[in-house]
């Protein structure tokens, strides 16, 4: 199999499959980057030309290896950048635990607010049903 044949799995194929994704969280982006990096490494190993004694193909082989190595290196750099962008890497474990506790409290407060709003919406819906029932009964009596 030669480099560039249609059977190759390319990063463009992966990107095209992800075109429907609007926004991903940082962990999902990191997972996607690791997946792409693994795919790039797989392609690099799979597509490396077999070593032959033919001197005319040495430059072609060297170019193919350089291209594949650059692809892998690019994916590693992208993954490193995503790792460096993760929140909390500059915080101690105690600071991260405190942040998690704060977020848990905030989440519980938001959940309580959501429950209250849902209960109020349910009451308004019951009132609307009652009003519609009264209106329809009044119309039927006429």
Helix then strand then coil, % of the chain, to nearest 5: 75, 0, 25
Do residues 81 and 73 touch, judged by C-beta distance below 8 A? no
Helix axes 26-47, 58-84, angle to 10 degrees: 170
Average pLDDT score, the chain: 81
Please check the confidence at residue 2 and state whether its pLDDT lies above 70: no
pLDDT, tens digit, 9 for 90 and up, residues 56-89: 677 777 887 888 889 889 989 998 998 888 877 7
Do residues 30 and 84 touch, judged by C-beta distance below 8 A? no
């Amino acid at each position: 199999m030669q480099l560039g044949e249609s059977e190759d799995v390319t990063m463009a194929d992966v990107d095209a499959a992800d075109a429907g994704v609007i926004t991903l969280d940082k962990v999902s982006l990191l997972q996607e980057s690791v997946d792409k990096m693994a795919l790039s490494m797989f392609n690099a190993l799979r597509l490396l030309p077999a070593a032959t004694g033919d001197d005319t193909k040495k430059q072609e082989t060297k170019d193919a290896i350089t291209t594949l190595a650059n692809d892998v290196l690019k994916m590693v750099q992208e993954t490193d950048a995503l790792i460096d962008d993760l929140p909390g890497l500059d915080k101690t474990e105690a600071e991260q635990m405190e942040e998690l506790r704060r977020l848990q409290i905030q989440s519980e407060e938001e959940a309580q607010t959501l429950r209250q709003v849902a209960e109020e919406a349910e009451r308004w819906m019951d009132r609307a049903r009652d009003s519609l029932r009264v209106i329809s009964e009044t119309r039927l009596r006429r």
